[in-house]
């Protein structure tokens, strides 16, 4: 028995193509970096720590599966033959999660149910037109990136999935890329989650750059008395909006059902279900999502020539969406006779609740007396709804192109 067969993780480095071996080492180091950045909370730790571990482990634990085949016992994403799949399900330990939760979009729906439980739609019901207007402006990247991506050589499906990074909603990108861009869904989803983690650090600079300090400090005076929204009203909205959106876009109906059902459970006061969806479903699905995405990052993934333009397009989509959101904020500021804080615009980018927090924090840097969180949450949750609508439109129309 020689060294290569005894320590196969190391041994395979010497028998693989040099560029694959090098890519494995780079990905192991990147995995360590993601864990570090997650621990430091520079990137989202809930995703990055399991993803970093998965990435490092899958590129370390490569072995000889047979005399001619090198691989891992984590999972096989590209298997299509049913007999082969049945074999792999009994060998690769994460294959059941991938096949039964990931590739059918269930994991995205579970996360969406959790998001529904933690979202209070009361602010949406108080300011529906303001929220929707800002949220639609904040979808600028979601549509403007589409023709650019197609011009760079991506297929229509891939271009649509990449554009949805601009919607800043991880589960939506995952769902759309599984439907529209199966071959590229791993890199698209990883890029989406990496960049979404960066919105917390990047958007404050965009806000400071585009909105002068005196406008950031505007205190919004409420001229109308607005009644509080009751649970009954929120529940009525949930069921009606769910039915209408499912009628309009059946191909995205799992996402609509998940979000509105989660929210309906919150508003119904079924605390045991609410705790189940938030504490168990949301966090289990987020953990498994991070781990599975990490494990999918095998060396061949980063050697795909489409990765570099994808990285550029992802950041462009989020930048355009942030820009669009701020334009929307300015528009509402003008419509309301300057009685509106345009910083709310950034919250239209639907990274719940990160961008709403960014908006309030940026206002707090200027004045402690301006409280915009309710407007920001309205725009934020409307952003989730508008991104789901655009996902539905893309998933419905792109296959017809």
Partner 1 sequence: MKDITFAFSVYLLGFAVSVFIAGLIKLVLFIIRKSSGNGVID
Binding residue for partner 1 (CB under 8 A) from 175, 203, 237, 259?
Answer: 237
What is the closest distance, in whole angstroms, from the C-beta atom of residue 339 to partner 1 in the complex? Answer: 15
Closer residue to partner 1 in complex, CB, 158/278: 158
Closer residue to partner 1 in complex, CB, 95/130: 130
Q: How far is CA 31 from CA 38, 199, 363, in A?
A: 10, 20, 35
Check if the beta carbon of residue 356 is closer than 8 Å to that of residue 364.
Answer: no
Binding residue for partner 1 (CB under 8 A) from 7, 129, 205, 283?
Answer: 129
What is the closest distance, in whole angstroms, from the C-beta atom of residue 262 to partner 1 in the complex? Answer: 18
Encoded one letter per residue, x for contact with partner 1 by CB under 8 A and - for no contact, window 240-279 reads xx--xx--x-------------------------------
Q: Is 152 in the site for partner 1 (CB under 8 A)?
A: no
What is the closest distance, in whole angstroms, from the C-beta atom of residue 353 to partner 1 in the complex? Answer: 20
Q: How far is CA 247 from CA 184, 234, 399, in A?
A: 29, 20, 19
Size of the site for partner 1 (CB under 8 A): 40
Helix then strand then coil, % of the chain, to nearest 5 = 75, 0, 25
Residues with Cβ within 8 Å of 164's Cβ and at least 6 positions away in sequence, in order, are 142, 172, 173, 176, 177, 192, 317, 387, 390, 391, 394
Backbone angles phi, psi at 340, to 5 degrees: -160, 145
Distance CA 167, CA 151 (A): 20
Q: Which among 160, 141, 142 has a CA at the least distance from the CA of 150?
A: 160
Distance CA 120, CA 126 (A): 11
Closer residue to partner 1 in complex, CB, 106/248: 248
Distance CA 267, CA 120 (A): 9
Q: Is 135 in the site for partner 1 (CB under 8 A)?
A: yes
Cis peptide preceding 353, ω within 30 of 0? yes
Sign of CA dihedral 180, 183, 184, 187: positive
Q: Choose one: 53-61, 251-259, 306-314, 390-398; the region binding partner 1 (CB under 8 A).
A: 390-398
Closer residue to partner 1 in complex, CB, 360/386: 386
Binding residue for partner 1 (CB under 8 A) from 131, 141, 262, 342?
Answer: 131
Encoded one letter per residue, x for contact with partner 1 by CB under 8 A and - for no contact, window 306-345 reads ----------------------------------------
Binding residue for partner 1 (CB under 8 A) from 57, 85, 126, 268?
Answer: 126
Sign of CA dihedral 116, 258, 170, 248: negative
Closer residue to partner 1 in complex, CB, 109/242: 242
Q: Residue 365 burial by CB count (10 A; 0-12/13-18/19+): exposed, middle or buried?
A: middle
Residues 187-226 touching partner 1, rule: CB under 8 A, are 224, 226
Binding residue for partner 1 (CB under 8 A) from 12, 258, 286, 386?
Answer: 386
Q: Looking at the chain, how many residues does it have?
A: 401
HSE toward the beta carbon, residue 245, CA cutoff 13 A = 24
Q: Is 150 in the site for partner 1 (CB under 8 A)?
A: yes
Residue numbers of the site for partner 1 (CB under 8 A)? 124-126, 128-129, 131-132, 135-136, 139, 143-144, 146-147, 150-151, 159, 163, 224, 226-227, 229, 232-233, 236-237, 240-241, 244-245, 248, 382, 385-386, 389-390, 393-394, 397, 401
């Amino acid at each position: 028995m020689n060294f290569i067969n005894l320590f196969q993780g190391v041994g395979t480095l010497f028998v693989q193509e040099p560029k694959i071996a090098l890519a494995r080492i780079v990905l192991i180091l990147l995995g360590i970096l993601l864990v570090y950045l997650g621990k430091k909370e520079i990137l989202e730790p809930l995703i990055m720590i399991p993803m970093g571990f998965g990435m490092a482990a899958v590129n370390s634990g490569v072995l000889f599966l047979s005399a001619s085949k090198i691989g891992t016992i984590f999972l096989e994403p590209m298997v299509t033959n049913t007999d082969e799949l049945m074999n792999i399900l009994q060998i690769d330990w994460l294959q059941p999660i991938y096949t039964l939760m990931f590739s059918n979009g269930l994991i995205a729906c579970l996360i969406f149910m959790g998001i529904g439980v933690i979202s209070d739609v009361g602010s949406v019901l108080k300011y529906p037109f303001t929220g929707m207007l800002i949220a639609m402006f904040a979808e600028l990247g979601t549509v403007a990136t589409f023709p650019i991506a197609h011009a760079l050589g991506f297929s229509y499906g891939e271009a649509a999935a990449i554009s949805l990074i601009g919607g800043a909603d991880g589960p939506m990108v995952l769902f759309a890329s599984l439907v529209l861009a199966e071959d590229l869904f791993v890199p698209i989803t990883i890029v989406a989650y990496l960049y979404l983690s960066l919105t917390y650090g990047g958007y404050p600079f965009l806000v400071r750059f585009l909105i002068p300090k005196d406008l950031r400090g505007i205190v919004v005076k409420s001229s109308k008395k607005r009644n509080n929204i009751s649970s009954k009203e929120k529940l009525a909205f949930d069921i009606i909006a769910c039915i209408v959106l499912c009628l309009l876009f059946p191909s995205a109906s799992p996402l609509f059902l998940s979000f509105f059902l989660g929210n309906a459970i919150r508003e119904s006061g079924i605390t045991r279900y609410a705790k189940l969806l938030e504490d168990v479903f949301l966090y289990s699905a987020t953990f498994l999502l991070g781990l599975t995405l990490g494990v999918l990052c095998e060396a061949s993934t980063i050697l795909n020539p489409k990765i570099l333009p994808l990285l550029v397009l992802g950041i462009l989509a989020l930048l355009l969406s942030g820009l669009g959101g701020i334009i929307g904020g300015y528009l509402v500021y003008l419509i309301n006779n300057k009685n509106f804080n345009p910083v709310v615009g950034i919250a239209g980018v639907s990274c719940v609740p990160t961008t709403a927090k960014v908006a309030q924090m940026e206002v707090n840097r200027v004045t402690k007396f301006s409280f915009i969180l309710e407007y920001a949450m309205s725009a934020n949750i409307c952003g989730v709804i508008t991104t789901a609508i655009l996902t539905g439109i893309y998933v419905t129309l792109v296959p017809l192109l």
